[in-house]
């Protein structure tokens, strides 16, 4: 049997890969204050800033968009989308939103009270921020293995079940729902096992608290269950995904990931109790319930994407190409969070640049070098993002990571070979890097707009 990883698609439309010289990129970096969020995408050759909304759509999706019925109320495109979500999740009530955080804002502002607590394995940043904005504490209860970057473990996204049990007991009456993020983006795109989800589900049912999935990478999670969990290999990813949804009471979804679309999201719920209130809130902020902040053509693309993402040849290729990058880096002795997650590979900048202290932001220095020398855009997830405390003081982040988030169906295996080589070359120049200082920063979420100065 051949072992090569191949793209399970033919390419029908292409776009030139942007190309700049090192001198161009040095000028671009200086103008952007060494912040990669300030660089134009047309100046980036390989854009790994995020896997969100960066998918290449299929011919079938583009075709479906042309058949969309653009109506304010009752568009057939909505009913088609609703049918697909119901079929995949088993949830009857489907509320479209323009992206994941709009679903978060809608649900939390309607269903949470100040002083409540919502546990998860790890909340994504916008999930946490939307809970906190409603006066709710966002609590992370990921398993201990999920906090050890080099430990090989198949399900590092699992919830710490004994801690969740104690938590639900201690805070009885103050937990409006429990969440679980599949896959767990914050701890490296690590999956949650079916066994863990079953235990979390049983706990929630005993405690009478609903369980909601943050399902934006549900298909990647289902694939990891199929390929890593005992007795699951014979089932289809679709059957496994359905069991994941069956174990919960509803989900929030940023469709910009496993929906294989560039914009979109939804809330889906088994029970209708919350629905009238959510639909009223939706009309106020997003739009009428049969479009929810999207055009009908977006709903058509999403209806097709949700089925395409469960194609096992696609999922095998997706997990295979992420693993391919992580394994090649491991062979070159470049440390990454292990094992490879579904959507991203995380470089361990603290281990790669041990001479740069956290105050000089090693992961930011590495991200800048990858762009300067190789045209590769990544994202710092370290002390720039997390180091500033609410009182303005500095505390080093737990890890200094550079996230290489891989867009779906966009780059080829040849591109990955080039990128791996580029990372190896940048790593070899590591000892010459000195880190960066912050020149200016906003009060909140500084990583998006802070300006830096390279230290010499």
Binding residues (CB under 6 A) for ligand F0G: these are 50, 52, 99-101, 124, 126-127, 181, 185, 214, 216, 254, 256, 265, 405
Are β-strands 93-97 and 117-120 bridged in parallel, bridged antiparallel, or unpaired?
unpaired
C-alpha distances (whole Å) from 453 to each of 131, 281, 432 are 34, 44, 16
Q: Is the distance from CB of 322 to CB of 344 less than 8 angstroms?
A: yes
Q: How far is the CB of 328 from ligand F0G (least distance, A)?
A: 23
Of 119 and 454, CB closest to ligand F0G: 119
3-class SS of residue 395: coil
Q: How far is the CB of 286 from ligand F0G (least distance, A)?
A: 12
Report the distance separating Cα 110 and Cα 277, nearest Å: 7
Q: How far is the CB of 95 from ligand F0G (least distance, A)?
A: 15
Report the distance separating Cα 14 and Cα 79, nearest Å: 32
Q: How far is the CB of 432 from ligand F0G (least distance, A)?
A: 30
Q: How far is the CB of 185 from ligand F0G (least distance, A)?
A: 4
Q: Which residues contact 136 (CB under 8 A, 6 or more apart)?
A: 108, 112, 113, 114, 115, 116, 117, 118, 176
Q: How far is the CB of 36 from ligand F0G (least distance, A)?
A: 13
Of 75 and 254, CB closest to ligand F0G: 254
DSSP state at residue 285: H
C-alpha angle 147/149/155, rounded to 5°?
A: 70
Closest residue to ligand F0G: CB criterion: 100
Of 326 and 353, CB closest to ligand F0G: 326
Report the distance separating Cα 65 and Cα 301, nearest Å: 6
Of 214 and 400, CB closest to ligand F0G: 214
Place of tokens 């990571």: 401
Report the distance separating Cα 318 and Cα 445, nearest Å: 31
Q: How far is the CB of 257 from ligand F0G (least distance, A)?
A: 7
Q: Is the distance from CB of 453 to CB of 34 less than 8 angstroms?
A: yes
Q: What share of the chain is helix, strand, coil (3-state, %, to 5)?
A: 45, 15, 40
Q: How far is the CB of 32 from ligand F0G (least distance, A)?
A: 19
Q: How far is the CB of 360 from ligand F0G (least distance, A)?
A: 25
3-class SS of residue 192: coil
Comparing CA positions, the residue from 340, 413, 315, 317 lying closest to residue 149 is: 340
Q: How far is the CB of 177 from ligand F0G (least distance, A)?
A: 15
Terminal CA-CA length for the chain: 52
C-alpha distances (whole Å) from 229 to each of 133, 309, 345 are 37, 20, 21
Q: Is the distance from CB of 378 to CB of 404 less than 8 angstroms?
A: yes
Of 47 and 214, CB closest to ligand F0G: 214
Burial of 23 (0-12, 13-18, 19+ CB in 10 A): exposed
Q: Which tokens go with 251?
A: 């989900």
Of 265 and 289, CB closest to ligand F0G: 265
Q: How far is the CB of 94 from ligand F0G (least distance, A)?
A: 17
Of 126 and 413, CB closest to ligand F0G: 126
């Amino acid at each position: 049997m051949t072992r090569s990883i191949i793209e399970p698609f033919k390419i029908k439309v292409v776009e030139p890969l942007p190309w700049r010289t090192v001198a161009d990129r040095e000028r671009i970096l200086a103008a952007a204050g060494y912040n990669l969020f300030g660089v134009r995408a047309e100046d980036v050759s390989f854009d790994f800033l995020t896997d969100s909304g960066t998918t290449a759509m299929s011919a079938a999706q583009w075709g479906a968009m042309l058949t969309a019925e653009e109506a304010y109320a009752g568009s057939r495109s909505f009913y088609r989308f609703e049918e697909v979500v119901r079929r995949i999740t088993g949830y009857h009530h489907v509320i479209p939103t323009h992206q994941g955080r709009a679903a978060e804002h809608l649900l939390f502002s309607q269903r949470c009270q100040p002083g409540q607590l919502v546990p998860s394995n790890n909340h994504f940043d916008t999930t946490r921020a939307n809970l906190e904005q409603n006066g709710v504490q966002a609590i992370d209860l990921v398993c201990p293995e999920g906090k050890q970057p080099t430990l090989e473990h198949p399900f590092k996204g699992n919830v710490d079940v004994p801690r969740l049990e104690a938590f639900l007991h201690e805070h009885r009456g103050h937990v409006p729902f429990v969440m679980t993020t599949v896959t767990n983006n914050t701890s490296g795109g690590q999956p949650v096992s079916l066994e863990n989800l079953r235990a979390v589900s049983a706990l929630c049912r005993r405690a009478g608290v609903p369980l909601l999935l943050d399902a934006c990478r549900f298909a990647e999670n289902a694939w990891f269950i199929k390929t890593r969990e005992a007795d699951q290999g014979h089932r289809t990813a679709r059957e496994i995904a359905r069991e994941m949804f069956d174990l919960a009471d509803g989900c929030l979804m940023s469709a910009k990931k496993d929906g294989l679309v560039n914009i979109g999201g939804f809330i889906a719920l088994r029970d209708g109790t919350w629905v009238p209130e959510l639909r009223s809130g939706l009309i106020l902020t997003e739009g009428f319930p049969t479009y929810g902040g999207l055009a009908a053509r977006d709903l058509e693309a999403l209806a097709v994407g949700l089925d395409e993402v469960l194609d096992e040849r696609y999922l095998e290729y997706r997990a295979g190409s992420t693993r391919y990058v992580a394994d090649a880096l491991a062979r070159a002795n470049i440390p990454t969070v292990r094992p490879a997650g579904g959507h991203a590979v995380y470089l361990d900048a603290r281990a790669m640049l041990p001479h740069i202290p956290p105050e000089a932001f090693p992961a930011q220095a590495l991200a800048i070098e990858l762009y300067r020398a190789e045209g590769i855009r990544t994202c710092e997830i370290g002390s720039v993002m997390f180091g500033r405390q609410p009182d303005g003081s500095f505390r080093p982040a737990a890890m200094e990571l550079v996230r290489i988030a891989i867009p779906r169906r966009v780059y080829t295996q040849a591109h990955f070979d080039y990128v791996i080589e580029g990372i190896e070359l940048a790593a070899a120049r590591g000892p010459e890097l000195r880190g960066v200082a912050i020149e200016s920063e906003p009060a909140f979420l500084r990583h998006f707009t802070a300006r830096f100065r390279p230290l010499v």
